[in-house]
Structure 1
Amino acid sequence: MTEQVKKVVLAYSGGLDTSVILRWLIETYDCEVIAFSADIGQEEELDTIEEKALKTGASKVYIDDLREPFIRDYVFPAFRANVVYEGQYLLGTSIARPLIARRQIEIANIEGADAVSHGATGKGNDQVRFELGYYALKPDIKIIAPWRIWDLTSRTALMAFAEKFGIEVLSTRKKPYSTDRNMLHISYEGGILEDPWQPPPEDIFTLTVSPKDAPDTAEEIEITFDQGDPTAVNGRAMSPATLFRELNRLGGKHGIGRADIVENRFVGMKSRGVYETPGGTILRAAHMAMESITMDREVMHLRDGLMPRYAEMIYNGFWFSPERELMQKLIDESQRNVSGVVRLSLYKGNCTVLGRKSDYSLYSEAFATFEDDTVYRQGDAEGFIKLNALRLRIREMNRKQA
């Protein structure tokens, strides 16, 4: 017997999957469906979303511009930690999901909905990210994940369902792979990319030119930071989303931010993904340079030791967990003096730090110089070395006595 559901808020993109899901929910549960589309910089055509959703059967449509809160409240906090998953992935999709889940639950509360739904498959990470977010924010919410329960198990079946109910869908044959885009990145998975031996076709890339086709002249830029967050590019103050858009433009122009990764999904399998993260790649390099002169050594090493765990929390969908929130407080505290300016060179896929300066700099030329100085007695290093070598000497002496 089908579970009783009165009203559902669906995360709706207007593509084949969520369009079919919208109608399937109505047919299966005889319920009201509210469509929710989040604008987080995916650059997809949103003008026709409302009309399409209503035509498919939605009782109401929310289209929310979340670009500023996405960068300010999700991307910037994560990048204060120099976040990266398994050494390469800058978490473009992972960071966006909790924002969408939060707004979806807010709409459910506003509309008195008793259920939410999404278009994530039963093989991927997104089902986990969405649903952990739903439960964390509204523990009694009903969740409908069609891909785990329906019998529409192929694209042919989805197309047939869409045709039956007069749902207009765009052909996807020209793009035999799956994409996800927001202001932080665009990802490509599946289809022609499932063979990890084969390189990604050049024509899939959207945000970046090929490094070999990038300008032959390097471009220098400056990024200003205030307590770990970027606030200006080349001296021009910008809002978070505007600044990130500018970094994306600059990075894309110079072929910066491409990555081809085989990652470990939370559900257990390995997955090959190709990513473009131009602005994020520049921001991470600049932020690390800013920290290099403003952050205490032991604080930096402690934070860096926690970063892989923090990245894993975000990747696995635990944004709203107490451990992630606790770690965020530590990270934010470490950023108090991470303020100043970093100068970088952008050239054919490379982002190179040229200089950094800060009123809070811990770097002292008087201490670091190889010239004569009066602040450091080099002879003091002998005792320091001998004390640190003591356990190594004892270990070796015991070996010889054995």
Structure 2
Amino acid sequence: MALSAKDLRGKLVGVCVSGGLDSKTVSKRLVEEGVQVLAFSADLGQPDEDDIQNVSKRMATCGVETVIVDLKAEMAEGCFDVVRCQARYDGGYWNTTGIGRIVTCHGLVTAMQKRGVQVLSHGATGRGNDQMRFERYTNVLAPSMLVYAPWRDPALLKEFPGRSEMVTYLSKFGIEAFVGPKKKYSTDANLAGLSHEAEDLESVQTPMTIVDPEMGVWPKDAPDAEELVELTFDGARCVAVNGKRLSPLEVISLANTIGGRNGLGISHALENRIIGTKSRGVYEAPGMELLGRALEYLYQAVLDRRAAALFAHLSSLVSNQIYDGRWFDPATVAARKAIHELTKTASGVVKVGCYKGNIHFHSLSDVAASLYNEADSSMEASDGLNPVSSQGYAEIQAVEARSLALAGQIAK
């Protein structure tokens, strides 16, 4: 049963906030309803937020205390998980928002439980994916915690049909708020990348190039010279960049900088939403693209054909589970464990070149588990595979081929 604002009286409500107009409006409206409100915001290393502490200052004008939860290290680990699983969604874009919701929900729900919060309130709309993600993760992580979705509350939707009504409401209390100029699109950000959607991007007649990249540049504006990057992996985790050992957070941050300035990781998709509709988005994930493509080259060296096929299946499953808000489901956990088993030998140094949105392979070195043998693969005389030995294998193959043909099972 859906909760309304009136149902929240007498309960401690944890409101997930960004400090924007929606957050202020919902929080103030609940306070005026007599609800005890505590705001929570996640620091995910989002590149569009200069000072996360400003969220507390903005929310204080509504008479609400805000708890800032530092989740940058957890977000970096989430990035590493996505890269290891090669978790891309529709159109091949990196699952940045999906992993961000996992980290946010786990971090904020945990913080809310410590404060005795009984109801989690999220600001997701009733038309998108995030409402499902926030609610499923709350149900999984804290089954006794209730969920309030203000933008599915008929009373609030009637009272605040648009942003101008929110501004008028807040101005009655002297709370600064502006509608601002109409945006070309909206942006959701975290350490892994940016998702741009809505407004002008809702029309498929609008080119993706209306987006002004925030984590880098369009490929055409990238330098004219190729930038070489050396990435060291240990068990499918990048532990060093250009020979310097770094923490996961430092790796992702540096990869974002390098990838961004070279125009990497900008993509477009008409994706399939959880609720069955399609959504259009333009995505930035420069660091994920750099690390992910480099690791892919390493996987090609250490995974045999059947292992690679199994990995591809598991990767697709994990990507869909991330998107659908099912990170903690048994199927996801099992798939991730299998991926860890398949990729535990993916260690070595990968050198790539970044050039105007492209990543060029340069070299692999120190890959102890590599299955590639130059002598076996050579077309020239070598000490590798004896070509005469293939005669027997060809004859065995011929038995089945002739049987199929003589039985009339081959379409000609």
The one-letter code matched in structure 1 to 2:166 is L
Go from structure 1 to structure 2 and tell me whether the alpha carbon gap of 1:203 and 1:84 turns closer, same or farther (over 3 Å shift): closer
5+ unaligned residues in a row in structure 1: which ranges? none
1:65 equivalent to 2:73? Answer: no
1:39 corresponds in structure 2 to 43
1:89 corresponds in structure 2 to 93
Aligned length: 399
2:374 corresponds in structure 1 to 365
Provide Cα deviations, 1:294-323, integer angstroms capped at 9, x if missing partner: 233322221112221211110011011111
1:161 equivalent to 2:172? Answer: no
1:175 corresponds in structure 2 to 183
Partners of 1:235 and 1:363 in 2: CA distance: 24
| Structure 1, 361-370 or 115-124: larger mean CA deviation | 361-370
Question: Offset of 1:106 from its aligned partner?
Answer: 1.1
Contact kept, 8 Å, 1:223 with 1:286, in 2: the verdict is: yes
Contact kept, 8 Å, 2:377 with 2:384, in 1: the verdict is: no
1:127 corresponds in structure 2 to 131
Query: Match for 2:265 among 245, 257, 260?
Result: 257
The one-letter code matched in structure 1 to 2:369 is Y
Which secondary structure state, in structure 2, belongs to the residue aligned with residue 56 of structure 1? coil
Contact kept, 8 Å, 1:83 with 1:310, in 2: the verdict is: yes
Question: Offset of 1:388 from its aligned partner?
Answer: 3.9
Partners of 1:340 and 1:215 in 2: CA distance: 28
Question: Offset of 1:365 from its aligned partner?
Answer: 1.6
| Structure 1, 290-299 or 165-174: larger mean CA deviation | 165-174
| Structure 1, 299-308 or 181-190: larger mean CA deviation | 299-308
5+ unaligned residues in a row in structure 2: which ranges? none
1:319 equivalent to 2:313? Answer: no
Query: Match for 1:348 among 356, 374, 390?
Result: 356
1:393 corresponds in structure 2 to 402
1:221 equivalent to 2:225? Answer: no
Provide Cα deviations, 1:263-290, integer angstroms capped at 9, x if missing partner: 1101111111011111111111101011
Question: Offset of 1:98 from its aligned partner?
Answer: 1.3
Contact kept, 8 Å, 1:9 with 1:107, in 2: the verdict is: no
1:109 corresponds in structure 2 to 113
The one-letter code matched in structure 1 to 2:227 is E
1:376 corresponds in structure 2 to 385
Q: Cα RMSD over matched residues?
A: 2.0
The one-letter code matched in structure 2 to 1:48 is N
Contact kept, 8 Å, 2:167 with 2:179, in 1: the verdict is: no
Question: Offset of 1:7 from its aligned partner?
Answer: 0.5
Query: Match for 1:9 among 2, 6, 14?
Result: 14
Partners of 1:258 and 1:328 in 2: CA distance: 26
1:288 equivalent to 2:292? Answer: no
Provide Cα deviations, 1:307-344, integer angstroms capped at 9, x if missing partner: 21211110011011111111111111112110111001
2:58 corresponds in structure 1 to 52
Question: Offset of 1:400 from its aligned partner?
Answer: 7.7
| Structure 1, 318-327 or 172-181: larger mean CA deviation | 172-181
Q: TM-score scaled by structure 2?
A: 0.92
Question: Offset of 1:170 from its aligned partner?
Answer: 4.5
| Structure 1, 294-303 or 201-210: larger mean CA deviation | 201-210
The one-letter code matched in structure 1 to 2:98 is S
Go from structure 1 to structure 2 and tell me whether the alpha carbon gap of 1:212 and 1:16 turns closer, same or farther (over 3 Å shift): same
1:276 equivalent to 2:284? Answer: yes
Partners of 2:370 and 2:410 in 1: CA distance: 50
The one-letter code matched in structure 2 to 1:378 is P
| Structure 1, 201-210 or 7-16: larger mean CA deviation | 201-210
Partners of 2:410 and 2:53 in 1: CA distance: 81
What is the percentage of aligned positions where both structures have the same residue?
A: 34
Contact kept, 8 Å, 1:40 with 1:182, in 2: the verdict is: yes
